[in-house]
Amino acid sequence: MSKVNELKERLFDVNALNAATAVLDWDHQCYMPDGGNAARAEHGSRLSRMAHEMFVSEETQRTLSEAAKEANGDSEEAAFVRVVQRQMAISTKLPAEFVARKVKRSTEAHEIWVKARKENNFAHFAPALAEMMDLAREEAEYLGYIDHPYDALTDQYEEGATKKSWEAMFDSVRQPLVDLVREINESPNQPDNSFLTGKWEQEDQRKFTEMLVQAIGFDFERGRQDIAAHPFCTNFSVGDVRLTTRYEDYLGSAIFGSLHEAGHGMYEQGSPMEWDRTALAGGVSLGVHESQSRLWENIVGRSRPFWQHFLPQLQGTFPALSNVNLDHFYRGINKVEPTFIRVEADEVTYNLHIMVRFELECALVSGELKVADLPEAWNEKYNSYLGITPTSDSVGCLQDVHWSAALIGYFPTYSKGNLLSYQIWNALQKDIPNTDELMAKGHFKPILDWLIDKIYRHGSRYQPEVLMEMATGERMNPEHYLKGIRAKYAGVYSL
């Protein structure tokens, strides 16, 4: 057996443990009764430690260095070895004890956060948050960094990203966005979206959203959709991808939540089957992943041609919408409004929500901002970027799951996804100029096929920047997003 195959074989064991952890986590979020919390934290922590120990074992490290000698050039094998080497470089710096402790403490912190948010009690969450920040600093020290501990943390989610590179990204969009939001707020042509709020049968929402994601290309032979309080997408193999959505009074939650997660899901389903269970399968980075969820949710799913096709079916399922015409509907689903909640934010204000979190988590990690001062700092930033002040911590600094789950350095990847989605769409339109016509006919296959060819089938083979250059002809360029949303919202608001 070649050394590369020997390495693959060893890593299939690690993959099996990780898949088991992922199934337990999916079950935790979708079905598990509360009584399972304590034991599940133990299960996750122990499985993570086992996977970690197996991965960094001397035998795996030796096989990896032998495989590295064997694989060369820009072959698939060489790419596989490079991805494993990067994971190894990160993992060998983290003690197994730390890995297990981080999983256990963050699982517990998550439960504390759920209660604190529900009861609007920041003081209840503050000690757990302080501990998450301690863990983040400890992790950054193990991993090493040159300029800022944040660099070590964020690189794990987006290869090559640093605090500075994120600052440069935000600097390029901050002012144009703040200006656009102000123009939109001042426009006399405000859309109405009240028709989307009502009492909708859960079963109707399930059927409609499943029809929708199947129509754009999500494969139910290799996936399914369930309900979760905070929608997410996970997968256990290329052949088993799980979407989640939620059914609320605001019908958009289910529709756009499902389209968003299906974008993630189709990216995962698009990896070559022969890479299944290896490090090459699956999306290359969180930013590129989010570009796909945002592309399908916003650029496709909030377009006029998309609803030219689907509005009659939506009205068939929900007769209360029969009197809403296409223009009214299109403008309604694209209403821009500064609100407190990130996950409900429109695509114009969304990045402003992210900037708040990015700036605050940098300051929390470095210790410049004390945990106790977070609520006030949060509210001040919402006031300065969005012109609104949260009415409670539940809709303020307690709203997001990330910090309780020790996910620090993660938020900016959402913004990168927003920016890349427009850049990728522009490249797609050069090859397929008639996307409007195709979508209006409900014909999404050419769009999905292009994305599979340029992005999905490459899995994690190329580094994010390399992949973007291959797919779009250039590195990340925020102009595509800025021009794209200006053009779109000039239309919606008659600016």
Residues 287-306 that bind Mg ion (CB under 5 A): 293
Contacts of residue 186, defined as CB under 8 A and 6 or more positions apart, other chains included, come to none
Nearest distance in Å: CB 293, Mg ion: 4
According to DSSP, residue 237 is labeled E
Nearest distance in Å: CB 457, Mg ion: 21
Return d(Cα 143, Cα 146) in angstroms, integer: 11
Contacts of residue 207, defined as CB under 8 A and 6 or more positions apart, other chains included, come to 317
Q: Smaller CB distance to Mg ion: residue 93 or 342? A: 342
Residues 16-75 that bind Mg ion (CB under 5 A): none
Nearest distance in Å: CB 213, Mg ion: 14
Nearest distance in Å: CB 292, Mg ion: 9
Q: Smaller CB distance to Mg ion: residue 25 or 393? A: 25
Residue 401, CA atoms < 13 Å, CB-side half-sphere: 12
Nearest distance in Å: CB 198, Mg ion: 26
- Whether the CB-CB separation of 244 and 284 falls below 8 Å is answered with no
Nearest distance in Å: CB 320, Mg ion: 29
Return d(Cα 380, Cα 388) in angstroms, integer: 9
Nearest distance in Å: CB 260, Mg ion: 6
Q: What residue has token string 């940098």?
A: 362
Q: Smaller CB distance to Mg ion: residue 278 or 293? A: 293
Return d(Cα 122, Cα 115) in angstroms, integer: 10
Residue 334, CA atoms < 13 Å, CB-side half-sphere: 26
Is 86 exposed, middle or buried, given 0-12, 13-18 or 19+ CB atoms closer than 10 A?
A: middle
Q: Smaller CB distance to Mg ion: residue 29 or 60? A: 29
Q: Smaller CB distance to Mg ion: residue 67 or 233? A: 233
**What is the torsional sign of CA 87, 90, 93, 99?**
negative
Stretch 151-190: interaction string toward Mg ion, x if CB under 5 A = ----------------------------------------
Question: Distance of alpha carbon 289 from its chain centroid, rounded?
Answer: 6
**Two tokens, residue 281:** 């399968």
Residue 342, CA distances (Å) to 348, 349, 398 in order: 11, 9, 11
Q: Smaller CB distance to Mg ion: residue 261 or 361? A: 261
Kindly compute the dihedral angle of the four CA atoms of residues 106, 109, 114, 115, in this order, to the nearest 10 degrees: 170
- Whether the CB-CB separation of 354 and 415 falls below 8 Å is answered with yes
Strand partners, 388: none
Nearest distance in Å: CB 289, Mg ion: 7
Residue nearest to Mg ion (CB): 293
Active site residue 465: no
Q: Smaller CB distance to Mg ion: residue 124 or 342? A: 342
Return d(Cα 240, Cα 242) in angstroms, integer: 7
Say which amino acid occupies 433: P
Contacts of residue 62, defined as CB under 8 A and 6 or more positions apart, other chains included, come to none
Exactly one of 139, 158, 261, 268 is catalytic; name it.
261
Return d(Cα 353, Cα 343) in angstroms, integer: 9
* Count of residues that interact with Mg ion, criterion CB under 5 A: 1
Q: Smaller CB distance to Mg ion: residue 293 or 399? A: 293
Binding site for Mg ion (CB under 5 A): 293
Catalytic site residues? Answer: 261
